[in-house]
Structure 1
Amino acid sequence: MCQSLIYNNLSIRYYFPVMTTIKSLSIVVPVYNEEDNLPILFAEIERAMSRTDKDWHVIFVDDGSKDRSLEVMRQLAEKHDTVRYVVFAQNCGQSAAFKAGFDAATGDVVVTMDADLQNDPADIPAMLQEYERGFDMVIGWRAKRQDSIVKKIVSKIGNGIRNRLSNETVKDTGCSLKVMRTSMAQLLPMFTGMHRFLPTLMKMQGAKVAEVRVNHRPRQHGVSKYGVWDRTKATFFDLLAIRWMQKRTFRYTIREQK
Structure 2
Amino acid sequence: MGELHLSIVIPVFNEEQRIKPSLVKILDYFQNKPFKWEILLVDDGSKDKGISLAKEILKNKEEFRVISYGENRGKGYALKQGVLASHGKYILFTDADLATPIDELDKMLPWFEPNSENNGYDIVQGSRKMIGATIEQHQPWLRESLGKVFTWLSNKVANSHVSDVTCGFKCYRREIGHQIYAFQHLYDWSFDSEIIFIARKYGYKIKEVPVHWHDVRGTKVRLIKDVTRSLKGLLLIRINNWRGNYSSREGAIANFESVVTEYPESK
User: For structure 1, which runs of at least 5 residues remain unmatched after alignment?
Assistant: 1-21, 252-258
What is the CA–CA distance in structure 1 between the aligned matches of 2:32 and 2:55, rounded to whole Å?
26
Letter in 1 for 2:208: E
Partner in structure 2 of residue 17 of structure 1: none
1:98 aligns with 2:63: no
What is the CA–CA distance in structure 1 between the aligned matches of 2:223 and 2:147, rounded to whole Å?
8
Q: TM-score, normalised on structure 2? A: 0.78
Q: What is the aligned-residue RMSD (CA, Å)?
A: 2.2
Partner in structure 2 of residue 177 of structure 1: 169
| CA apart distance, 1:50 | 4.4
Partner in structure 2 of residue 141 of structure 1: 127
Identity of aligned residues (%): 25
Residues 24-63 of structure 1 mapped to structure 2, 5 A cutoff: 24-50=5-31, 52-63=33-44
Checking the alignment, whether the CA contact within 8 Å between 1:62 and 1:69 is kept in structure 2 is no
SS at structure 1 position matched to 2:213: coil
1:168 aligns with 2:164: no
2:52 to 56, 63, 71: 71
What is the CA–CA distance in structure 2 between the aligned matches of 1:49 and 1:78, rounded to whole Å?
15
| CA apart distance, 1:77 | 3.5
Partner in structure 1 of residue 253 of structure 2: none
Change over 3 Å in CA distance of 1:195–1:25 after alignment to 2: farther
Counting matched residue pairs gives 228
2:210 to 191, 208, 213: 213
Partner in structure 1 of residue 199 of structure 2: 202
Tell me whether 118-127 or 78-87 shows the greater mean CA deviation: 78-87
Higher relative contact order (CA 8 A, sep 6+): 1
Could you report, residue by residue, the CA deviation over 1:180-214 in whole angstroms, capped at 9, with x for unpaired residues? 12222222223223632222222223311100011
Could you report, residue by residue, the CA deviation over 1:86-133 in whole angstroms, capped at 9, with x for unpaired residues? 122111111111011012101011100110231210101211112224
| CA apart distance, 1:250 | 7.0
1:234 to 226, 229, 235: 229
Checking the alignment, whether the CA contact within 8 Å between 1:98 and 1:195 is kept in structure 2 is no
What is the CA–CA distance in structure 2 between the aligned matches of 1:51 and 1:78, rounded to whole Å?
18
Checking the alignment, whether the CA contact within 8 Å between 1:138 and 1:179 is kept in structure 2 is yes
1:155 aligns with 2:147: yes
Could you report, residue by residue, the CA deviation over 1:130-169 in whole angstroms, capped at 9, with x for unpaired residues? 2224111001101344211111111111111111112332
| CA apart distance, 1:29 | 0.2
What is the CA–CA distance in structure 1 between the aligned matches of 2:238 and 2:33, rounded to whole Å?
38
Checking the alignment, whether the CA contact within 8 Å between 1:204 and 1:246 is kept in structure 2 is no
Partner in structure 2 of residue 224 of structure 1: 219
User: For structure 2, which runs of at least 5 residues remain unmatched after alignment?
Assistant: 115-119, 249-267
What is the CA–CA distance in structure 2 between the aligned matches of 1:96 and 1:167, rounded to whole Å?
22
